[in-house]
Structure 1
Amino acid sequence: MLSQIKRLGADSLLYAFMNVGTKLIAFVMLPVYTSFLSKTQYGVVDILDRLTSMLTFLVIFGTDSALSFYYYDTKDKNKRLLYVQNVMYFRLFVVAVLFLLVVIAGPWFSEKILENPHYVDLLYVNLLTLLLDTIFVVATTVMRFEFQTKKVVLFTVLKMLLVAILSYIALKFWTPTPGALFIGRLISSVVLFIMMLRMTWNYLKFRIEWSVLKELLAYAAPLAPTSIAFWVIANSSTFFIQQFASLAEVGVFGVALRLAMMITLITSGVQMAWHPYAMSVKDKEDSPYIFSKIYIALLLLGLVGVIAIATVSPWVMRTFFTADYYEAYPYIPFLSCVTFLNFYYLIISVGLFFKKETSYITQIFTIAAVLNILLNFALVPFFINWGAVIANVATYVFAVLFIFRKSQQVYYVPVSFAKMAFLFANMMVSTVAIVYVQEKHMNMLFILGSWVYFLAMVAISRVDRDFRQQAAVENVS
């Protein structure tokens, strides 16, 4: 078991390095971009990014999980290649359909959503970028499956560096508009496509086998509504804010969301390594005990991360951003909590993937999407950004609770739900206290007190006892 955990740790460390690198690049560039763009212009960028994320969900259509399952389900290299090729061309077909829709309705859509018909050109640029990124993602996904971690890290970091450099050049020396930002992204995708063409050539050879595609889509289809539900949950708040406030408020909320991704400095490395790792150890006799340790360890790591982000958010906004964006800081820790829960549900739902009961995830997130819309509709008109924050936190708490409960029913992992809930609740108490102290300009010792309170609650929960008990069971077995 120790060797298995070491492998997860080694891959997670490399992926963590990659994600720390890419997130730091994004973090450094965000204040640079906002120095060129007004709140309203950044609101346009944020809305377009959210629309692109929806299109990405539609392109993937759950085939990432399907490819992961069937790739490991066979040892035949030719069959594995066939699965990859079918996934590749399914996704490229979806991109082609989306491009046709933009040709037909792009100008109308641009005027209604972006409040400027001339922004239709940005839709075309984004779709071309999505096309190239689709090829990039399939290629790096296969690299992950083959545990070619160093290559994944190299190409991903290089891509992010190119985006940062080329976007800055476009903003600085061409035009300080959203268009310059998106052109920089497109050129970086073109460069990476050329660099990776040799290793992706086999994946791009046209070979569709309908039985294989049906097999993939049969696994993926139950997850597709989940993707749409995810998009609704992640993005509906932005459109409610635009409707009831302004593009400028969208810009502020968008900056808070971007900075909330700092929590992924902790989680994203594990997330990339998790699915291949979990599938590779699922049949081991002691796998439930492995997962129970990971559940608790990652929960603690994420909760500490949220409190840390709450502590440093005002300093970050004062130091790196113009005064126009400072008001975003109190939203950041709570949106970080949402980001963590979006990661954590993948960890605690292993049973549903092992038992092929992924349709339950679809059901829960579909309900959660409806709940999110209702909460946004009820709260955003009165509380604007705070209403959106509350809606998102409540939605993800609901989803994680029900997914964990069902996963435990089909694949029991010996971990205490009461203890996990206790830790989460006390993290929220500490985070609210820290934000309150910052808003009221109280003595910073109260923030230290919030940290002491949370650590005391961790000590009271005695999570160390769980680890010792599990170790004893493993020694006996």
Structure 2
Amino acid sequence: MIKAFLKDSLLYTFANLFTRGIGFILLPIYTRLITKYEYGLFDYLTTLGLLLGVVVTLEVTQAIYRYMPEYKDNEPKQVSIASTGLWFSVIMYVILGIVSFVFSEPLADLLLDDVKHSSLIKITSILFFTNAVLYNLTSLMRASLLSKQVVLLSALNAIFVATFSLLFVVYFKLGITGLVLGQLIGCSVTSVLSYTIVKQWVKFTFCFITLKEMLTFSAPLIFSSVGVVLTMFVDRVMLKSILGAEQLASYAVAIKIASIVTLLMVGFQSALTPLIYANYKKSETPKKIAKLFHMYLIAAFISLLILGSLSTWLVTIVAGEQYAEGAIYVPPLICSALVSSMYLFFPGLSIAKKTSLIAGVNIIVGILNVGLNYIFIPLYGALGAAFSTLFSVLLSFILNALFAQKLYKVPVNKVLTFLIFLMAGIMLRLFSLM
């Protein structure tokens, strides 16, 4: 399992190094060619897309991850799962698109504070649809352990999105609309290519019995995922609402810098879940998961140490002096990104299909995070948002791990875990004094 994990992990890491690398190369161009207001607005729309992605499809892709490996020897069942999941997502996003087009002006006034942005609402709704299709198709590949194909398509998508975005922003000078159009066209091309890889599973078929089975597993996860989104992304929505799009822009740049750490960790995240579901019944799997968790902890601390030390330099170089205030937000956001993925190493709740318990924990923590942001953003600005999110993801991890360990014991080294968390806390304090 570990050999397969490391192989897939390296592939996913390479893909993200390439795709995120392109993103960081383009970030200085975008932050200098569009206003801080537009960049903040773009990040705000992206965050709304993440929230809608959870609610609209009822988290049906989680069922794909859960059941595709389980029926690896039953191709007709895999076809039923893959096809039903895709067409269900398509139908739900078509409905969302119709609503967005019909009510584009009221939505623009409500979400973007200006009815003139109604065309942006329409284009963005199409982008959300395209992203959903692409995510569904690549989820099929990940669930089927087609890591090489995922890597290739991720790289191609990054190239397509970068090319079209640059064309619309630099040459046609379309600003935020150009960014959205570039992503839309790039994702559309990649979706077509993705279909050619998974077409053996995707047919013009729809099974209500299969859909019921999938939604029975995934529907309770909506509340869980909403809780996760509230924990990880509500800070941006509230920052925009309380302090405005320009303040959100600095915070968004800090998030981009902090997300460098996901370049190193995403291999763990992308490769781990399918392998756990495929191997969890083997007696040696818990020890192997624990070993991988210890590796993750050490790599996470090293990442915090390096990126936290370079945060001011990175923000200034990447985005420019006008975003320099964002440097102080980087260290706590790095910790949030790292801790938010640690639950993957404690899969007991998912294996036991205790989705209601997962949902309960995450929604409670998500609501708590909304309250913390509401209190601390007016008092401490974006820094209050950063630490509110960190506290929330840490609490979520602790609760999920405690419950999961009762159902599927992963023999982690508690002393090592405590020491690394303690050292991370000390580093955060030192960075705040720099």
3-state SS in 2 of match to 1:415:
coil
3-state SS in 2 of match to 1:6:
helix
The code of the aligned residue for 1:341 comes to V
1:418 Cα shift? 4.8
Residue equivalent to 1:10: 7
Residue equivalent to 1:28: 25
> Are residues 1:189 and 2:182 paired?
no
1:98 Cα shift? 1.1
**2:288 pairs with 287, 290, 296, which one?**
290
Residue equivalent to 1:66: 63
- C-alpha offsets along residues 310-357 of structure 1, whole Å, 9 cap, x if unaligned? 011111122232211111111112111111111112222x11111111
Alignment of 1:359-374 (within 5 A): 359-374=356-371
- C-alpha offsets along residues 189-248 of structure 1, whole Å, 9 cap, x if unaligned? 232234344445455533111111100000001111112122222222223222332211
1:11 Cα shift? 0.8
When the two chains are superposed, the root-mean-square deviation of aligned CA atoms in Å is: 1.6
> Does structure 2 conserve the Cα–Cα contact (< 8 Å) formed by 1:58 and 1:224?
yes
> Does structure 2 conserve the Cα–Cα contact (< 8 Å) formed by 1:310 and 1:330?
no
| Greater Cα offset, 51-60 or 250-259 | 51-60
Question: 2:398 and 2:145 mapped to 1: Cα distance?
Answer: 32
Alignment of 1:162-181 (within 5 A): 162-181=160-179
> Larger C-alpha radius of gyration, 1 or 2?
1
> Are residues 1:388 and 2:385 paired?
yes
Question: 2:111 and 2:309 mapped to 1: Cα distance?
Answer: 36
> Does structure 1 conserve the Cα–Cα contact (< 8 Å) formed by 2:331 and 2:431?
no
Alignment of 1:400-411 (within 5 A): 400-411=397-408
> Does structure 2 conserve the Cα–Cα contact (< 8 Å) formed by 1:307 and 1:430?
yes
The code of the aligned residue for 1:147 comes to L
- C-alpha offsets along residues 367-396 of structure 1, whole Å, 9 cap, x if unaligned? 011100110111111111011011101101
- C-alpha offsets along residues 117-149 of structure 1, whole Å, 9 cap, x if unaligned? 121212221222222222222222222233222
> Does structure 2 conserve the Cα–Cα contact (< 8 Å) formed by 1:61 and 1:227?
no
> Does structure 2 conserve the Cα–Cα contact (< 8 Å) formed by 1:307 and 1:431?
no
The code of the aligned residue for 1:323 comes to E
Residue equivalent to 1:144: 142
Residue equivalent to 2:16: 19
**1:41 pairs with 38, 41, 50, which one?**
38
**2:108 pairs with 107, 110, 129, which one?**
110
Cα 1:73–1:201, aligned 2, differ >3 Å: closer, same or farther?
closer
Residue equivalent to 1:299: 297
Question: 2:355 and 2:164 mapped to 1: Cα distance?
Answer: 40
Identity %: 23
> Does structure 2 conserve the Cα–Cα contact (< 8 Å) formed by 1:306 and 1:336?
yes
Alignment of 1:184-263 (within 5 A): 184-201=182-199, 204-263=202-261
Question: 1:426 and 1:195 mapped to 2: Cα distance?
Answer: 45
Alignment of 1:88-167 (within 5 A): 88-167=86-165
Question: 1:374 and 1:329 mapped to 2: Cα distance?
Answer: 25
| Greater Cα offset, 412-421 or 262-271 | 412-421
| Greater Cα offset, 296-305 or 56-65 | 56-65
1:157 Cα shift? 0.8
Cα 1:219–1:433, aligned 2, differ >3 Å: closer, same or farther?
same
> Does structure 1 conserve the Cα–Cα contact (< 8 Å) formed by 2:290 and 2:412?
yes
Cα 1:55–1:412, aligned 2, differ >3 Å: closer, same or farther?
same
> Does structure 2 conserve the Cα–Cα contact (< 8 Å) formed by 1:62 and 1:221?
yes
- C-alpha offsets along residues 39-88 of structure 1, whole Å, 9 cap, x if unaligned? 11111111111111111122442222211222122221111011000100
The code of the aligned residue for 2:48 comes to L
Residue equivalent to 2:317: 319
3-state SS in 1 of match to 2:282:
coil
Residue equivalent to 2:374: 377
Question: 2:413 and 2:220 mapped to 1: Cα distance?
Answer: 29
The code of the aligned residue for 2:379 comes to F
The code of the aligned residue for 1:40 comes to Y
For these two proteins, the number of residue pairs brought into alignment is 433
Cα 1:38–1:144, aligned 2, differ >3 Å: closer, same or farther?
same
Task: Identify unmatched segments of 5+ residues in structure 2.
Answer: none
Residue equivalent to 2:279: 281
TM-score (normalizing by structure 2): 0.96
Residue equivalent to 1:451: none
Question: 1:194 and 1:70 mapped to 2: Cα distance?
Answer: 24
Residue equivalent to 1:354: 351
Residue equivalent to 1:308: 306
The code of the aligned residue for 2:383 comes to W
3-state SS in 2 of match to 1:72:
coil
3-state SS in 2 of match to 1:73:
coil
Residue equivalent to 1:455: none
1:272 Cα shift? 0.9
**1:415 pairs with 407, 412, 426, which one?**
412
Task: Identify unmatched segments of 5+ residues in structure 1.
Answer: 438-477
Cα 1:198–1:11, aligned 2, differ >3 Å: closer, same or farther?
closer
> Does structure 1 conserve the Cα–Cα contact (< 8 Å) formed by 2:316 and 2:324?
yes
1:100 Cα shift? 2.3
